Amino acid sequence: MKHVKQIAEIIDAGATTEAHLALDQLLALGPQNTAALKLRARLLEMEGRFSDEALIWDRIATIDREDEDAVAYLFRRQKEDREHFYFTDDVAGGGRRFTACPSSLITFSAIGLVGCLAFLAMTHFADATALLADPRMMLSIFAVCVVMPWVAIVLIYLRCLRFVTVTPAGITISTRLKTHQFSWNELGTVSLAHNLSGKSPRLWLTLEPKDEQTRPVHIDMTLGSTALRARAYLIREITRHHAEPGYVVLDHLGRKGRKPARY
């Protein structure tokens, strides 16, 4: 019988099946063990099983209505409900469009603004400082502080995820440069692929076409880094119009020679 700390280490190592079995055994002896239930909720969230995660947190709240982690989850769920209202739209003919909000674009925009301000500040000291008076030095600073961040902003703006649209007919992934459109019949698998090993666990929504000549599409669904909002609603919409996604390990996914398009 493994204890909570040992199971947490198993999860950190990426052994999800072993972790679920250990939690089953622990919860069979103590169904109201909130520490074990929280580990279960954490594991389900990292695997993309958002509906099952919600049931576990509801169970924890029933046991202890003042549990701080359960309250924090409730606020997160309320935030996602608001995101569903603000970042999604109904589609004519049925379905829903999910608008992306890429954090990387916001981050680089802030860096670009700071870089511009820093360069402007340096120009005021150019006459008083011999180093800054050198035109080559100022040109180098301009390239680093202004040009490079804004080149990155433009590239991210053009390549980042813009919309994901789910309809009864299929799913469409749109950027400003490219659109991936699949009917449900064209897709071999739709999965939530997780990789929990390492310092940064990752979760991807993966679309694997039946046609071996067509590139798969992987969409980042990791909490904190995904460009999509209301991600649990997105999975719910896919389940409603197609089927519940499979839950797999990312390392076991895909066919050789087909590098996925990642967003």
The percent of residues in the chain predicted with pLDDT above 90, rounded, is 57
Q: What is the pLDDT of residues 23-42, one digit of tens each?
A: 999 999 989 999 999 999 99
Stated pTM of the model: 0.84
**pLDDT of 80:** 94
What's the CA dihedral at 29, 30, 34, 35 to 10 degrees?
A: -40
Residue with tokens 């590139």: 215
Is the confidence at residue 236, as pLDDT, over 60? yes
| 137: amino acid identity, one letter | M
**pLDDT of 252:** 56
Q: How far apart are CA 115 and CA 137, in angstroms?
A: 15
Is the confidence at residue 76, as pLDDT, over 90? yes
Q: How far apart are CA 215 and CA 187, in angstroms?
A: 11
201 — pLDDT class (breaks 50, 70, 90): confident
Question: Which region among 183-187, 193-197, 202-206 has the lowest average model confidence (pLDDT)?
Answer: 193-197
Higher confidence at residue 108 or residue 205? 205
Residue with tokens 């940064």: 200
Q: Answer yes or no: are the C-beta atoms of 230 and 84 closer than 8 Å.
A: yes
Q: How far apart are CA 160 and CA 155, in angstroms?
A: 8
Q: Answer yes or no: are the C-beta atoms of 168 and 93 closer than 8 Å.
A: yes
Q: How far apart are CA 98 and CA 89, in angstroms?
A: 7
**Whole-number mean pLDDT of the chain?**
89
- Per DSSP, 228 falls in state B
- What is the edge-to-edge ordering of all strands in the sheet holding 187-195? 246-249, 187-195, 202-209, 217-220, 261-262
Residue 214 to residues 181, 205, 255, 257, 259: CA-CA distances in angstroms? 11, 17, 11, 11, 10
- Per the rule left: phi > 0, alpha: psi between -120 and 50, beta: everything else, 230 is left
- Backbone phi, psi, residue 31, to 5°: -60, -20
